Amino acid sequence: MREYTKLYIGGEWVEPIASHGSIEVVDSSTEEVVAKVAQGGADDVDRAVAAARGAFDSWSQTPVDVRAKYLRDIGAGLTARFEEIASTISAEVGSPKTFAQMVQAGLAVGDWENYAKIIEEYDWETQLGNSLVVKEPIGVVGAITPWNYPLYLIVCKVGPALAAGCTIVLKPASYTPLNALILTEVIDSVGLPAGVFNLVVGPGGEVGEAIAKHPDVDMVSLTGSGPVGAQVSKDAADTVKRVGLELGGKSANVVLDDADPATVALGAVFSCFINSGQTCSALTRLLVPRSREQEYIDAIVEEASKVRLVDPHADEPDIFHALGPMVSRSQQETVRNYIQKGIDEGAQLLIGGPEAPEEFDKGFYVKPTIFAGVTTDMTIAQEEIFGPVLSILSYEDEDDAVRIANDTVFGLAGGVQSGDVERAKRVARRMRTGQVDINGAPFNTNAPFGGYKQSGNTRERGVFGLEEFLETKSIQLPA
């Protein structure tokens, strides 16, 4: 078992000021404790913010090419530890090995080169009449992250914030601190100036809250659940800091009546069950036309019959059909309760159910579950479940489909399936969400990602992600 006793503050590994106990990191498939990690407290946040503040002047003035080189060095350092990152995330999160390699580690490692290029090409200054409009880093950034794509979602903040010239205090999710420790070791090894990046592991209610309230933090950037997003906004309000929120979703996949059922089925199952449904942008509500409802249901049930629960540490090359466990016992319980609620509220259970799966006697597994006959008033049509549960709803016509798709407090993602891309685009434009995939179009790491409504208020990735960490200054020039 690995043991980490230190935080990373001011360019050094340091003991927490006072003991706040340690986190036990549990392998989601074996239920064994694989590591212990020391927690910090609010006093450690003070220290980390002071270090970040002290480093800001110099880092923010560091030439772009020097910053870009550090980013590339970090990317190279992570690449050298690619296999270790993937296997760590397979243990912490339960993501099957191939998925952990291709998606979890792949995205986290690859993005650094992107940010290096973006800042090399970015227009930091523009002339507007007699004004020079200058883009500058916002200052000290508090980054608070979740556990589902733990390293990638850290990189979505730390990458562009460093690129912008900001200094950082990172608090990773308590279920998954190990990948953040690997990143920190890499950052330490490339010789990033002391204080530019700081890591304080610890509970959200103490370390996260201290970051959100801290008067010397200029921006808090959170990826997490809606209630925590609301709390962070309140905590940040007294110091009027910028708040960037990437929150939950209940995204609709709208199947138009000209879409081929077999093609729809593969995408519908994968886009909902991806990472065992522990994906903010998972398309968890499938909207099918009433006139062809049974055809789509039959195709989906056939496709879902290929889905298997697997040991995340085993070689399972089929990322479309291999699902690992939930991250934790509590997440497993939450998802099973939602499945029971779906049954109790009258949805038709097509596959799965709330019982423990027979395949494994250990691990936080949940049966992949599909409901038909779901109506918008049901809990499973409205709340984010964050597990492998697909709700199928039927609609009358295109207007009805759009109405149902938008009938949620969330607005993160969506999908449209159609034989006619122009028709699909028309529907996509009417969906009140930050992104829409047409016919399972591929993920684009440079496209903006973020939510409408209660799914958040920011955009991450690419140049949009960089700009979240920038301030804009006008310098008026004399005639």
Q: What residues make contact with ligand NAD under the rule CB under 6 A? A: 144-148, 153, 171, 173-174, 204-205, 208-209, 212, 222-225, 228, 231-232, 246-249, 280, 384, 386, 412, 451, 456
Task: Give least dist CB 146 to ligand NAD, A.
Answer: 3
Whether 24 sits among the annotated catalytic residues: the reply is no
Strand partners, 399: none
Task: Give least dist CB 382 to ligand NAD, A.
Answer: 14
Cβ nearer to ligand NAD, comparing 298 with 383: 383
Task: Give least dist CB 451 to ligand NAD, A.
Answer: 6
Cβ nearer to ligand NAD, comparing 256 with 282: 282
Rg for the chain (alpha carbons), in Å? 23
Task: Give least dist CB 204 to ligand NAD, A.
Answer: 2
**69, 107, 183, 197 from 169: Cα distances, Å:** 21, 22, 13, 6
As a whole number of angstroms, the longest Cα–Cα distance in the chain is 78
Cβ nearer to ligand NAD, comparing 27 with 235: 235
Shortest CA distance to 456 belongs to which of 224, 272, 218, 161? 224
Whether 280 sits among the annotated catalytic residues: the reply is yes
* Contact criterion met (CB below 8 Å) for 181 and 199: yes
Cβ nearer to ligand NAD, comparing 11 with 224: 224
Q: Please give the distance of CA 258 from its chain centroid, rounded to a whole number.
A: 32
Per-residue HEC secondary structure of the chain comes to CEEECCEEECCEEECCCCCCCEEEEECCCCCCEEEEEECCCHHHHHHHHHHHHHHHHHHHHCCHHHHHHHHHHHHHHHHHCHHHHHHHHHHHCCCCHHHHHHHHHHHHHHHHHHHHHHHHHCCCEEEECCEEEEEEECCEEEEECCCCCHHHHHHHHHHHHHHHCCEEEEECCCCCCHHHHHHHHHHHHCCCCCCCEEECCCCHHHHHHHHHHCCCCCEEEEECCHHHHHHHHHHHHCCCCEEEEECCCCEEEEECCCCCHHHHHHHHHHHHHHHHHCCCCCEEEEEEEHHHHHHHHHHHHHHHCCCEECCCCCCCCCCCCEECCCCCHHHHHHHHHHHHHHHHCCCEEEECCCCCCCCCCCCCCCCCEEEECCCCCCHHHHCCCCCCEEEEEEECCHHHHHHHHCCCCCCCCEEEECCCHHHHHHHHHHCCCCCCEECCCCCCCCCCECCCHHHECCCECHHHHHHCCEEEEEEECCC
* Contact criterion met (CB below 8 Å) for 179 and 150: yes
Cβ nearer to ligand NAD, comparing 165 with 387: 387
Task: Give least dist CB 465 to ligand NAD, A.
Answer: 11
Q: Which of 92, 206, 209, 246 is catalytic?
A: 246
Cβ nearer to ligand NAD, comparing 46 with 298: 46
Task: Give least dist CB 210 to ligand NAD, A.
Answer: 8
* Contact criterion met (CB below 8 Å) for 7 and 39: no
Q: Which of 92, 272, 280, 460 is catalytic?
A: 280
Task: Give least dist CB 230 to ligand NAD, A.
Answer: 10
> Measured between alpha carbons, how far is 188 from 182 in angstroms, rounded to an integer?
10
Task: Give least dist CB 222 to ligand NAD, A.
Answer: 6
Cβ nearer to ligand NAD, comparing 223 with 276: 223
Cβ nearer to ligand NAD, comparing 271 with 394: 271
Cα angle 27, 268, 397 (rounded to 5 degrees) comes to: 145
**Residues designated catalytic:** 246, 280
